[in-house]
Structure 1
Amino acid sequence: MNLFAKILEQKVFYVIRNQDYNVAQKFCEMLINLQVTCLELTFTIPKVELLIKTLRKKYPSILIGAGTVLTLTEAMQAAEAGAQFLVGPIFNRAISDFCHRKGLIYIPGAMTLQEVTNIVNADWEIIKIFPATAFKLNFIQTIKTFFPNKIYMASGGIDLTNLKEAKALGYDLIAVGTFVTGNINNKIIEQEKIQTIINTINLN
């Protein structure tokens, strides 16, 4: 199975966003131990490229990508660290061109039809609608009217209250973050609570 197919098979991306490197690493290790197989490590983590490299080496079967990639420099750092996909809140032409040259999977964000069109014209298959709850979740159905064959990720504001609805409305992938791993500065790791949340996500 190629990398693109493996990403589509995941369905749920667990986004790690923390300002403490050690806490972020503990969250990643805990999620992996709880059978999570796809992690998006954002550039809000100090030295995130080092964490990506460490996890890729230790867990070669886990999909590890970089998130909140806003600049070409960050894209290059993520690629060098071994990130298997790059996710951004917006579309960046320089990052797009770099990923095409390197054969990397780029998942840029959009929240308007024009932004989605720009991503489609740049020849990317997965489009992140961000923040997904800025409008009603059925916004995805309007987008799919114009580009029905693309793959859409819901990101931003997705939690257990709307996860099932997002899937039912046509989102192919879901990104979950704070409601699973806690506040960005939260240093309390509650494994039992997170296990319950993961189980609920899997049931939906």
Structure 2
Amino acid sequence: MPQNVQKIEDVMCAAPVIPVLVVEDPAKAVPMAEALVRGGLPAIEITLRTPKALEAIKAVADNVKGAIVGAGTVLDGSQYSAAVQAGSQFIVSPGATKTLLDAAETHSVPLLPGAATASEVMFLLESGYSRLKFFPAEQAGGAAYLKSLSSPLAAAKFCPTGGVSLDKAPTYLALPNVLCVGGSWIADAKVIASEDWAGIEERARAASQLATS
């Protein structure tokens, strides 16, 4: 089954930036997400890098109006199912395997798979996936590399993630094959732990006003 492009585009085009978040304490997930939504960033990726990430996703899904919460760093079918059960509205992976794509076919919740090379993009296009995560963006060649893919692989549109900052985001967003960027600068783990909700909202507002191509 091919990717549900409309569903994943709704997520990617909700705002110029999707915050990529590492949440240790589920109790902090709701005020964090509320701050992001107030700042204009409704799509929120909570990575499965902590023991209580699924609890954090569920807390946001159940309690934050206007939030589009998704799970990141999903590596296999069991994680995919658990993330969906917790309330994830989209799934993000750092790469793609046939096993993961097979798992995606069993769910209506869309997958945004990662790719870093032309061959990986071609594999995903052949598999019916045209909306992709470019990861790790800066380490894999940055905006210049991604721009070079825009002509030969024009069907693919990306969310670059990995080393993207507020200063670097506009260069990515100006590319014809970029729909949004993913970044942790808006709310890193230390900021979340310190409960700086006003600071998160301020950074979210600045990010929400970045222009896309």
Structure with more of its chain in helix, by fraction: 1
Counterpart of 1:9?
13
Give, as a single letter, the amino acid of the residue that structure 2 aligns with 1:84. Answer: Q
In the TM superposition, residue 108 of structure 1 has moved relative to its aligned partner by 1.0
- Superposed, 1:111-122 pairs within 5 Å as 111-122=116-127
Counterpart of 2:71?
66
In the TM superposition, residue 173 of structure 1 has moved relative to its aligned partner by 1.4
8 Å CA contact 1:19–1:184 kept in 2: the answer is: no
8 Å CA contact 2:23–2:53 kept in 1: the answer is: no
Counterpart of 1:57?
62
Taking a change above 3 Å as real, the CA distance of residues 6 and 48 of structure 1, as seen in their structure-2 partners, is: same
TM-score (norm 2): 0.84
Taking a change above 3 Å as real, the CA distance of residues 57 and 23 of structure 1, as seen in their structure-2 partners, is: closer
* Distance in 2, Cα, partners of 1:130 & 1:4: 17
8 Å CA contact 1:16–1:28 kept in 2: the answer is: no
In the TM superposition, residue 184 of structure 1 has moved relative to its aligned partner by 5.5
8 Å CA contact 2:116–2:134 kept in 1: the answer is: yes
* Distance in 1, Cα, partners of 2:116 & 2:28: 31
2:141 aligned with 1:144 = no
* Distance in 2, Cα, partners of 1:81 & 1:198: 25
Q: Which runs of 5+ in 2 are unaligned?
A: 1-5
* Distance in 2, Cα, partners of 1:24 & 1:59: 9
Aligned-residue Cα RMSD (Å) equals 2.2
- Superposed, 1:1-204 pairs within 5 Å as 3-10=7-14, 11-59=16-64, 61-134=66-139, 135-170=141-176, 171-177=178-184, 179-183=185-189, 187-204=193-210
8 Å CA contact 2:32–2:197 kept in 1: the answer is: no
Taking a change above 3 Å as real, the CA distance of residues 37 and 71 of structure 1, as seen in their structure-2 partners, is: same
* Distance in 2, Cα, partners of 1:181 & 1:112: 28
* Distance in 2, Cα, partners of 1:89 & 1:5: 18
Q: Which runs of 5+ in 1 are unaligned?
A: none
